[in-house]
Amino acid sequence: MEIQLIIDHLVKEIALFKELVTILQIETEDLVSRDYKGLYETISRKEHLLVRIGSMGKIRQKLISDCANGLGITGEQNLTSIIDKTGGSRTEELKNCRDTIYSLAESVKELNDLNSKVIKGSLENISKTLGFLGNFLPNSNYKASGAFEGFAIKGSRLNEGA
Domain residue spans in the chain?
2-134
Q: Which residues of the chain have pLDDT under 70?
A: 1, 134-162
Q: Give the dihedral of Cα atoms 17, 21, 24, 26; nearest 10 deg.
A: -130
Distance from C-alpha of 42 to C-alpha of 40, rounded to nearest angstrom: 5
| Residues 46-69 pLDDT 10s | 999 999 999 998 999 999 888 888
Answer yes or no: pTM beyond 0.85.
Answer: no
**Backbone phi, psi, residue 26, to 5°:** -65, -40
Distance from C-alpha of 24 to C-alpha of 46, rounded to nearest angstrom: 8
Distance from C-alpha of 16 to C-alpha of 51, rounded to nearest angstrom: 11
CATH of domain 2-134: 1.20.58
